[in-house]
A and B are shown apart, each in its own frame.
Chain A
Amino acid sequence: MLRSTVRKPLQLASRVKLSTASWSASRRAVPLQAGRVWWPKVQEYSTKIQPKLTAESYPDVHRFSGFKKLADEDLSFFRSILSDSEILQAKADEDLALFNEDWMRKYKGQSQLVLRPKSVNQVSQILKYCNEQKLAVVPQGGNTGLVGGSVPVFDEIVLSLTQLNKIRDFDPVSGILKCDAGVILENADSFLAEHGYIFPMDLGAKGSCHVGGIVATNAGGLRLLRYGSLHGTVLGLEVVLPNGEILDSMNALRKDNTGYDLKQMFIGSEGTIGVITGVSILTPPRPKAFNVSFLGVESYEAVQKTFVQAKQELSEILSAFEFMDLNSQRLTKEHLKDVPHPLEEEYPFYILIETSGSNKEHDDVKLETFLEKAMEDGTVLDGVVAQDETELRNLWQWREMIPESSQAGGGVYKYDVSLPLKDLYSLVEAANAKLTEKGLLSVEDTSKPVISAIGYGHVGDGNLHLNVAVREYSKDVEKALEPFVYEHVSSKNGSISAEHGLGFQKKNYIGYSKNDQEIKMIKQLKNLYDPNAILNPYKYV
C-alpha cells in the first residue's frame, strides 16, 4: 500500500512550519546583555534564552535555613543504596538543566543531585534519610507542569521517578490497571489500547508526563467530560510518606466504605505530603468510533445553549465540548497561514464537539439529529463534520494549536481558571476591557505590548483558558492582570487553578479559591505528615 504518498496539507504545512521556525530560531544570535551575544548550542532542548535562576527572579523567596546543605556523607549514603545509573550529580559541564528547569523555561533551580531510584524500597530509604537529615526533596515526574511545581527552587534534591516505570498488572475483565508512577502516559495508553481499553484521561503532554505526576497534580485534560476526574477513576495508590513509611492501597476495590479514603488526599497534593510510587486506576473500554464537528455560533449564550442541547441529544457519546473565541481563531489562522479555516465566514464563537462510542452508525444518527436541530432553531449558524480521520485530526488542530499560536507573537500570559458556566467568558471580556482601558492593547498597533486576550477551553468542565498574547513581557501588563484576574475569578466564586495546580507560581494566591478554614486544615495535614517540611518546599501553601 502506498499510503505514504498521501500527505494531507494541514499536517504537512504545520509540521514544516514548526521545524523551520525552530531551525531559524536556533541559528539566531540571542542578545543577552548589551554588547554580549550568546549563541545557543544546537543540542539544547529549547531555543529561548536561558531562564534566570528562580532565586534571582524572586528575591523575596529565601532558602529555608533549617535545611541541611548536601554534604559528602549524604552522597556516600545514597551511593550505598543506589547504583551509579541511579545517581546524577552536577558537574562542571553538566548543570542538570533538564531537571532544574521547567519546560516553559520560566523557573530554574540549583539542585546538585538527581536520584532516580528503580524500586519503591529505595524511594522509602531515600525519604527516610532526607527526613532525618533535613534534606529538602522535590519529587519529579515528566516535568511537564505549568506552574513550576516539579522543579527545585534552591538546592533541593530532585527525586525523579523516571526509572520506576513498569506496568505491574492489568485485569482485562475489570479494566483495572496497576502501574508504577513513572510510566509515561502515552505508554500506558498504548498498552491499554492493545487490550481494547483507554486511559481515562488525555492531555497534550502525554508523550512525556508520568501517570504518577498526573495523579499528584490531579491533571484534568481532554477526557474529563466523559470519564470524570482522577478522584473518581483512581482506585488505589502506593505512596511513600516523608518518614519513609509506605502507604499501600493498590489492591483497592471499586467499593470500599471502610475508614477515611486516604488516597484522595494525595490526588492533587503536588508532592507535598508524600511521593506517589504506584497507581491503580479503573480504565474504560476504548471507543471504536469517533466523530468531530466544528461549529460557528453568534454569542457565548449560544455556546451554552448548544452545550445543553448536546448533552441532551448526544448524552453518553459526548466526549469533548470545547469552545474558542474569534480572536483565538484569528491568531491561529495567522499562525497556520496557508491552511484554510474549516468555516468560510467568521463567527464570534466556535465550538468543537467530539463524540465517541462503540457503534459508528448509532453515533452518526445521534450527531446528525442533534446538528440538524441546532441548525434549524438557529443556535448554530454554520458548521462542518469530519468525513474521515484526517479531517477529524485537522479539525482538532484548530483547538490544539491555540496555545502555540497565542505565543507566536512574542509571548503569552496563561491563566487556567474554573468559573461557573454562565460567567465563564466574562473574564476574557473583563481582561480585554481592562487592558484596553490601560492603553496596553491593540491588535494592529505594534507599539502596544498586548495583541489580544483570548479565551478558549473545556465548556464541559467549566474550565477557561485565558491567554493574553503579547508582543513582549512587561511589568505594566503583569500589573494590569494580577491580581485583577484572580480577584475577578474569586468574585464569581471560581477557582484560580482549574487543572494546572498551584506549584510555585500560584502559591500566594490560594486564598482567592480556598477559605481560611480550608487553608488551615491543609497546613495541619502538611505539618502532620511532613513536620520537617522537606517535601517540595516553597510551594503549594
Chain B
Amino acid sequence: MSKSLRILVPVKRVIDYAIKPRINKAGTGVEKTGVKFSMNPFDDIAVEEAVRIREKHKKLVENIHAVSIGPLKAQDILRTALAKGADTCSHVDVKEAELEPLAVAKILKEMVAKQNANLVILGKQSIDDDCNNTGQMLAGLLNWPQATFAAKVEIDEANMTARVTREIDGGEETVSAPLPLVVTTDLRLNQPRYATLPNLMKAKKKPLEKLSLSDFSKVDAEPRLKVMKVEEPPTRSAGIKVGSVDELIEKLKEVKAI
C-alpha cells in the first residue's frame, strides 16, 4: 500500500444545535421551515481532525474529500467544510428524502471506493436522529476496523497505523488499528476552527461534484422504518416549597426518591 492518506469526511446538514426544535403540526416530525440549519457539530469536529492530521503529516495526506447526502442546501455546509480545510467535495442530492443510516452507509461505501479513501472520519452521531449507527455500519460493510468515540487520533506514518483514544464509560480506552480505518468523533477530540475570509473565498473555487441517488443504483434507499408519531416529552410539573427538612424527607419518601 502506498504511503498516502486519502481522507473521506461525511458531513450532514442538521437543524442548528442552538435552535430548539419544534414538532410539526401533524406530529410526524420536526418543523423544518424557517429554521436555521448548520453542519452537524460532530462532523465539524471530523473536518477539523482531518485538517489537523494534514497539518501534522503534510506529505502523507493526499486529499481530504467531504461528502454530504441531503437536499440541495447541503451544499452550504460543504462550502463550510471546504472553507475549513477540505480540498474537494461531493454532494449526493436526495431531495427531501431522509435516508436511514444503512442506506447512508451503503452510499458512503461506494464513495470510499470512488475516492479510493483509506481513512473515513465522521461524527459519532448526528444531532437530529441521534442514531449513532452510520460509522459502525460503514466499517462493517467495508470490513474495515473501526475506532468509535475518538478523543485523540495519532497516525503512525511508518507503520500506517492509527492509535485512537476512545471515550468510554468511566474513562478512556486506547486502541490501535492498521489503515484503512473508520473513525467516529466525540466532543473532546478537538475544537473546530472558524472559517476565515480568505479560506471562504478560496472555498468558492474548490470543486464540488454533483451526484444524485441514481448514481448509486445498487443502493436501496427505501426506508425500512416508519415513524408512527413524534411527541414532545411531558413538560415538567412545577416544584413545591417545603417548610422544613422533615417535610422534605417525607415528600421524598412519598415519591420513593429515598
**Residue positions of A touching B, CB distance < 8 A:** 1-3, 5-9, 288-289, 293-295, 340, 342-343, 360, 368, 371-372, 375, 380, 382-391, 393, 395
Of B38, B197, B201, the residue contacting A388 (CB under 8 A) is: B38
Contact B34 A288 (CB under 8 A): yes
A-B contact pairs, 29 of them (CB 8 A): A1-B21, A1-B128, A1-B130, A2-B125, A3-B127, A6-B41, A8-B17, A8-B41, A289-B36, A295-B197, A340-B191, A340-B193, A360-B36, A371-B197, A372-B197, A375-B198, A380-B197, A384-B197, A385-B197, A387-B80, A388-B17, A388-B39, A388-B44, A389-B16, A389-B36, A390-B16, A391-B194, A393-B18, A395-B194
The docked-state distance in angstroms from the alpha carbon of A386 to that of B83 is: 12
**B18–A382 touching, CB < 8 Å:** no
A294 to B194, CA, bound (A): 10
**Contact residues in B for A391 (Cβ distance below 8 Å):** 194
Interface size of B in residues (CB-CB distance below 8 Å): 30
Residues of A close to B80: CB separation below 8 A: 387
Interface string of B190-215 (1 = CB under 8 A from A): 01011111101100000000000000
Measured between C-beta atoms, what is the minimum distance from A302 to chain B in Å? 14
B19 in the interface, Cβ–Cβ < 8 Å? yes
CB distance from B135 to the nearest CB of A (A): 16
A183–B83 CA distance with the chains assembled, in angstroms = 44
User: Which residues in B have their C-beta under 8 angstroms from that of A382?
Assistant: 196-198
List of A residues within 8 angstroms of B19 by Cβ: 389
Which residues in B have some Cβ–Cβ distance to A below 8 Å? 16-19, 21, 34, 36, 38-39, 41-42, 44, 77, 80, 83-84, 125, 127-128, 130, 187, 191, 193-198, 200-201
- Residues of B with C-beta under 8 A to A387: 38-39, 77, 80, 83-84, 194-195
Q: Which residue of A lies closest to B38 (CB)?
A: A388
Q: How far is the CA of A340 from the CA of B193 in the complex (A)?
A: 9
Main secondary structure of the interface of A (DSSP, over half): mixed
Q: Are A6 and B187 in contact (CB under 8 A)?
A: yes
Cα A375 to Cα B202 with chains together (Å): 12
**Chain A residues, Cβ within 8 Å of B34:** 288
What distance in Å separates the Cβ of A264 from its nearest Cβ neighbour in chain B?
A: 38
With known contacts A375-B201, A385-B200, A387-B80, A342–B21 Cβ distance under 8 A: no
- Return chain A residues, CB-CB under 8 Å to B38: 387-389
Asked if A389 and B196 make an inter-chain contact with CB atoms under 8 angstroms apart, the answer reads: no
Q: How far is the CA of A79 from the CA of B84 in the complex (A)?
A: 67
Name which residue of chain B comes closest to A7, CB basis: B187
Candidates B16, B130, B194; contact of A2 at CB < 8 Å? B130
A375 touches B197 (CB 8 A): yes
| Residues of A with C-beta under 8 A to B39 | 387-388
Give 7 A-B pairs besides A7-B187, A384-B197 with Cβ atoms closer than 8 angstroms: A6-B17, A340-B191, A368-B200, A380-B197, A385-B197, A387-B77, A388-B36
Q: Which of A1, A2, A5, A395 has the most CB of B within 10 A?
A: A1
Given A1-B128, A8-B17, decide whether A385 and B195 contact each other with a Cβ distance below 8 A. yes
CB distance from B20 to the nearest CB of A (A): 9
A389–B83 Cα gap in the complex (Å)? 17
Given A2-B130, A5-B187; A384-B18 close (CB under 8 Å) = no
Q: Given A2-B127, A3-B127, A288-B34, is A390 in contact with B41 using a C-beta cutoff of 8 Å?
A: yes
Chain B residue with Cβ nearest A12: B187
Q: Contacts of B198 on A, CB cut-off 8 Å?
A: 375, 382
Closest CB pairs A-B (n = 6): A388-B38, A389-B18, A384-B194, A383-B197, A2-B130, A389-B16
Q: A19 CA to B224 CA in the complex, in Å? A: 48
Q: How far is the CB of B240 from chain A (nearest CB, A)?
A: 21
Q: Min CB distance, A32 to chain B, in Å?
A: 34
Residues on A with beta carbons closer than 8 Å to the beta carbon of B130 = 1-2
Which residue, of A3, A5, A372, has the highest number of chain B Cβ atoms within 10 A? A3
> Are A384 and B128 in contact, with the CB atoms below 8 A?
no
CA A392 to CA B32, docked complex, whole Å: 21
Pairwise interchain contact A9-B196, C-beta atoms closer than 8 A: no
Complexed CA–CA distance, A382 and B198 (Å): 7
Residues in B whose Cβ lies below 8 Å from that of A288: 34
Pick from A5, A8, A342: contact of B194, CB below 8 A: A342
Q: How far is the CA of A385 from the CA of B16 in the complex (A)?
A: 16
Q: How far is the CB of B126 from chain A (nearest CB, A)?
A: 10
Complex contact A383–B17 (CB within 8 A): no
Closest B residue to A386 by CB, please name it.
B194
* B191 and A6 contact, CB distance less than 8 A: no
Listed residue (B77, B80, B194) with the most chain A CB atoms within 10 angstroms of its CB: B194
Chain A neighbourhood of B191, CB < 8 A: 9, 340
Contacts of A372 in B (CB 8 A): 197, 201
CA–CA, A252 to B167, complex, Å? 62
Q: Shortest beta-carbon distance, B72 to chain A, in Å?
A: 12
A208 to chain B, nearest CB (A): 23
Q: How far is the CA of A386 from the CA of B36 in the complex (A)?
A: 13
A90 to chain B, nearest CB (A): 26
A372 shortest CB reach to chain B, Å: 6
- CA A384 – CA B198 in complex, angstroms? 9
Q: What residues of chain B lie closer than 8 Å to A8, measured between beta carbons?
A: 17, 41
Q: For residue A289, which residue of chain B has the nearest CB?
A: B36
Query: Do B194 and A3 touch (CB < 8 A)?
Result: no
Q: CA–CA, A294 to B38, complex, Å?
A: 19
Chain B neighbourhood of A371, CB < 8 A? 197, 200
Q: Which of B83, B128, B195 has the most CB of A within 10 A?
A: B195
Chain B residue nearest to A392 in the complex (CB): B18
On chain B, the residues within 8 Å of A7 by CB distance are 187
Measured CA separation A382–B191 after assembly (Å): 20
Question: B28 to chain A: closest CB distance in Å?
Answer: 16
A263 to chain B, nearest CB (A): 36
Alpha-carbon gap, A371 to B19, bound state (A) = 27
The docked-state distance in angstroms from the alpha carbon of A395 to that of B17 is 16
Q: Is the CB of A384 within 8 A of B127?
A: no
CA distance A8 to B83 in the complex (A): 20
Tell me which residues across on chain B come within 8 A of A384, comparing CB atoms.
Answer: 194-197
Are A383 and B21 in contact, CB atoms less than 8 angstroms apart? no
CB-CB nearest in chain A for B199: A384
A390 to B80, CA, bound (A): 14
Q: Which residue of A lies closest to B77 (CB)?
A: A387
- The CA of A9 and the CA of B36, in the complex, are separated in Å by 21
Interface centre among A382, A385, A388, A389 (most CB of B within 10 A): A388
Complex Cα gap A375–B201 (Å): 10
Closest to A388 in B: B38
Q: Chain A residues near B83 (CB, 8 Å)?
A: 387
A467 to B77, CA, bound (A): 39
